[in-house]
Amino acid sequence: MTNFWKKLPRPFVALAPMEDVTDYVFREIVARYLPKPDIIFTEFTNVEALNSEGFEKTIYRFKFSKKQRPIVAQIWGLKPENYYKTAKLINNLGFDGIDINMGCPDKAVVKIGACSALINNPTLANEIILATKEGANNLPVSVKTRLGLKDDITRKWITFLLEHNLDAITIHGRTAKQSSDTPANWDKIQQSVGLRDTISPNTLLVGNGGVKNYNNGIDWTKKYNLDGAMIATGILSNPWAFDKSDKKSSLEDNKKILTKHLNLYRKTEESNKSYNVLKKFFKMYIRGSWPNQNLINGFDGASKLRNQLMQTKSVDEALKLL
């Protein structure tokens, strides 16, 4: 199998894994109807759930289409043996890569010792990486992480990760303790470049945190000497964030995309997810203005329509309103 990381354009821009955002439906909308990222990641998927009675309620997260390639399955959890089994499953399902979540700052997740808490538990992190790589066989393995848990330990932590010869490391330029209001520190991310060149020259480095759109991401990768950038919440304020030509989008464009989104959700996800999950997408598509972004053609009634959509209780009701 060809390692997709080696075939990407340089620099590249990826769509970040986001819980209740990058599900099958949104990934399919992005891949088919919006400007497509160079890489797409799944939602966070728990390895313990996949290796328990919760399998049937979890496996839907790993549904994907050819349009979504290259597609990377992101996983999290605590037990190395479950990472091994899940990596084998991901390989068998035909994903292009596996990404280990060592960056989520959610307090409930950190409390049990998972995700960003692994930054302060290198013994377990080592076991998890080794188990995942063994189960993945020839499938590329990457890690998404942060500068530290409570304190910035970029040099020590990234050195540790690089010693595992991962295919890629995505570094969010904040500690887990820092809020999203704290500007991401890309100078700290850049410190990893020299370490990479010395320890693991073939590992790609991806910057994350505060990237607004594709061209913004490309500019930052060049400024900080990185291989790529990753957009997370930037797409929630601009669904056309991956457009390379700064296309001007109208409300009518977005209404059409939202209609496709709702119809696809009805066909594929209604039995798996609460309808309320869709409401963040109402905020994303239906906006009155687009300050400092490439979508500028809002309209005066956007706020009213968005508020009405937020009150709906079914796909049919939302479609009728649109």
Catalytic residues: 104
Residues 285, 321 contacting (CB under 8 angstroms) = no
Residue 206: both structure tokens together: 């991806």
Residue type, 31: A
The length of the chain in residues reads 322
Residue 271: both structure tokens together: 């039995």
Residue 316: both structure tokens together: 């049919």
- 101 in helix, strand or coil? strand
- 291 in helix, strand or coil? coil
Helix intervals (H) in the chain:
24-33, 47-50, 55-58, 80-93, 107-111, 122-136, 154-162, 186-199, 214-223, 251-268, 279-285, 302-310, 315-321
Q: What are phi and psi of 251, to 5 degrees?
A: -60, -35
